[in-house]
Amino acid sequence: MEKLKYIEQFEKLGMGMFVHFGLYSVIGKGEWYKFAAKMETEEYNRAIDKFKIKKSWARELVSTAKKAGFRYITLTTRHHEGFSLYDTCGLDDFDAPHSPTGRDLVREFVDECRRQGIKPFFYHTLLDWYKEEYKTDFPKYLKYLRDSVEILCKNYGEIGGLWFDGWWDKWDADWEFDELYALIRKYQPNAMIINNTGLDARGRVGHKEIDSVTFERGKPCFIDRSEKYVAGEMCQVLNDHWGYARNDFNYKTIPSLIDDLMACRQANCNFLLNIGPMGDGSIRPLDKAMILELGNWIRANKNAVYSMTGADIEAENASVLCDGKYYYAFIKDVGSSGDSNVSLTGENKDTVKILTDRRVVDARWLDSGERIKVTKNSFTIKCFEYGTSMGVRIARFKLS
């Protein structure tokens, strides 16, 4: 089946940063706070008076993403609250240029992405808690939605794609997707069109123009490519909220994020990892530290994760990926060796068995290059030197 060039280029990006940023960032209670707290629109919208974004926000965001190994960024240009980070050009005044910030933040984001060699993607909500027409005159609202998307397609140069979210709010409604997607193809013929199917329909295609299915907070599974070759993308959050929530301390571990990343690569899907900037646009220190440590792990493994895809063999106690030249055994929970007073794992050993009749040769730890002792089609994973444990390691090998 033919794979369109821009879809192939998207797959090669491998890992992107999701950025949820809006008025909810000022409130600091998550992106769904207005809905969850049943706040009246007028009350909620007073947060615009506190929307004062520092001028260096985009530079910090993009430079952090690049340092951590992300190759694209998907920014919430408008979330469900209806507030736009871009200049809506007269459609309404509920946007960043009409806030105390007084600037087009999408313009700043795109310009910074281009300066630093990161591909910009635009998230845009489909549902809307701000526009009354969403409830009272749906066709009129859809015209407003298309006019909004047209601004994004026309005014910011070439983008990587558009990422929609919210059609699950009205599954049975006619969203006039033919018109919406045709508009995108007119101005951005090489843009990825992605429409999130939410938690209940992961991997669903939904429309012939869709270029990638989504797996929200769930590891990629079967992708239906019977009608067209489509990519896949898993979006994941560091804690429990997509938007900044100052009291959300329920953070995932770095090994669990690595596990998600490798599950994506095994399924030839991209990994879209979210952060929620704080009210002034700064990145929360813990968020920044975690994604930079993830980047350190990627660099320690020679950036091979970008070229890995699912392999044609399996293994016991490991997942196997390949890049066309080497196989890679992804091994979790590898401990460190050492004196019993300082090491919990001591001298425990485990064996990874490659499920093949071929012989495993030239096995090495990818991060250190150290040779691994091999017996035909298996190798023993010894607890490695104290002080070097990373919890998750990759063994690279060939088959003779």
Going along the chain from its start, the domains and CATH numbers come out as 5-300 (3.20.20.80), 309-399 (2.60.40)
Average pLDDT over residues 100-129: 98
Q: What integer best gives the mean pLDDT of the chain? A: 93
pLDDT attached to residue 378: 87
| Bridge partners for 245 per DSSP | 29
pLDDT attached to residue 347: 47
pLDDT attached to residue 192: 98
Number of Cβ atoms within 10 Å of the Cβ of 278: 17
Phi, psi (degrees; rounded to nearest 5) at 43: -65, -45
Q: Per mean pLDDT, which range of 175-179, 366-370, 384-388 is the poorest? A: 384-388
Q: Check pLDDT > 70 for residue 386.
A: no
pLDDT in tens, 37-62: 999 999 999 999 999 999 999 999 99
pLDDT in tens, 157-182: 999 999 999 999 998 999 999 999 99
Confidence of residue 343 (pLDDT cuts 50, 70, 90): low
pLDDT attached to residue 13: 96
376: left (phi > 0), else alpha (psi -120 to 50), else beta?
left
Sign of the dihedral defined by the CA atoms of residues 284, 290, 295, 299, in that order: positive
pLDDT in tens, 212-254: 999 999 999 888 888 899 999 999 999 999 999 999 999 999 9
Average pLDDT over residues 329-357: 73
Percent of the chain with pLDDT over 70: 94
Paired tokens of 144: 């407003």
| Bridge partners for 259 per DSSP | none
Q: Check pLDDT > 90 for residue 293.
A: yes
pTM exceeds 0.75: yes
CB of 223 closer than 8 Å to CB of 204: no
